[in-house]
Structure 1
C-alpha cells in the first residue's frame, strides 16, 4: 500500500523529541500512515535530518524544527519554527523528555527543577500554545511511563513524579478539549531498546535478560511497539478513546 493511501493522509503531526528513540519510531510510523510530520529536536540536528530522510525515503513528508525545551519561551519558539513550515496541526505527540537516575537522598534542586521543566512544564505550554493551531477532532498523545503507576524503579522518583503530573494533565485536558472533538491520551512505555537506555541495557547479557524478564511477554520493548499504539490513538480508530493512560509496558505491571 502506498503512503498516499494511509489513514492519516492529509493530516499534520508534530512529534517533540522526534529525532531519536521512541520519538523517531513514532515519527516514522505516522509518516508511513500518511501524515506530514514535524520532527522536533533540541540539539542533534544530524539525527533529526536522518529521521526526516527516513520518512521521505519511505514515501512520506517531513520537516525538522529545533527548539530547546525546559527554558523560558521554549513553547513559543517551537511553534514559531513550526509555523514556518505548516499551517495548523492535527496530531500533537508530547514525547520529549529527560531522565533522572539519582536516588531520593542525593538528587539536587537544580536537577529536580530541570527534569520537571522538560517533562511536565514544557508539554503543558507546548500544548497550551498549540491548542489554537490544533484543528477540531485532533489528537494529543502524551508519552508517559510505567513508573508513574508502579514503584518498580524507585531511584527514578523525580522522573516518575514528572510523568505522574503528565498523567493528571492528560485526564483534565481531555475534558477541556473534548467539546472540540479532540482526544487526549497518555501512552506509557516500559523498558524500550533505545540509545538512551543502551548504557545499561546492553552492558551485559544479564542486564538484557533482567529487563526482558520484567515483561509478561519475555522481551524488551522496541520503539515500534510504542509507535503502533500511538498510531492507533492518532487515527480515526481511536476517536472514542480519551482521557486514558494506556499501559504499553508489555505487561511489566501485570
Structure 2
C-alpha cells in the first residue's frame, strides 16, 4: 500500500473528506498513515477550493490510536519520537488550518484517536461510538494534546477521572459532558455529518478562520488582550468580500452567496 492510500481523500462542493484507511487494525496509526495525514492537512490548508474538512474513519472504527505493533517491534521508534514526529504535527496542523474541521466519529475513538477528534473544531459521532482515554491501561500518559483539550472541554476533575481510569464514554455521555457537539443515530449519522460540513463549507470561510484563531488564543490571553485581538480580527473580517456580500444580502433580504474571499 502506498503512503497516500492510508488516507482516502475526496473533494466535493468545497468539502474535503479525509478518511483514515487502515480498517483491519481499527485505523490505528503507523508512520505512513501519520505522515500521509500531515501531508493531506497541509494540502487542505493551501487549496482555496477546500472550504471545510471532515475527518473520519474507514470501517467500524474511527481510530484506535497508535499501532502498538509498530511501537514495540524490533528497531521501533521510541514512543516519545512517535509523539513528536507523528502526532504533535497533526494536532498543530489541525489547529492552524484556516478552515473548519469536523471530526465525524463513526466508531470507537481510543487513545490518540480520541484526542485527534477532540483537537478538531467540531466533533459529531454515531450514537454507538465510544471515546476512551486508553493510555493508563498500558502505563502511558495521554498525548496528542489530550491533557490540553479534554480538561478545557469537561473540567479538570472529570478529565482526571477519564484519563486515570480509562473509562469508556458513550457518544451521548460525551454530548452531555460537553466533550463533543452532537451524536446522531447510526442510520442517519453519515447524512447528518455531511449536512453539517456542507453548511460550514458554504459559510464565510475567512470569518470562520479568524474565529478559530481567536479561540486558539482565548485560554492564553487575559480579557484586555482578547478584546484587542477581537478588534484586530474584526478589522480583517470587515475587509473580506464575504462581509460585503453578507451585508448586501441582509439589506436585499436574500440568501447570501459566500465565496470564502
More helix by share: 2
Tell whether the structures are fold-level matches, with TM greater than 0.5: no
**TM-score with structure 2 length normalisation?**
0.32
Relative contact order higher in (CA < 8 Å, ≥ 6 apart): 1
| Greater Rg by CA | 2
**TM-score with structure 1 length normalisation?**
0.33
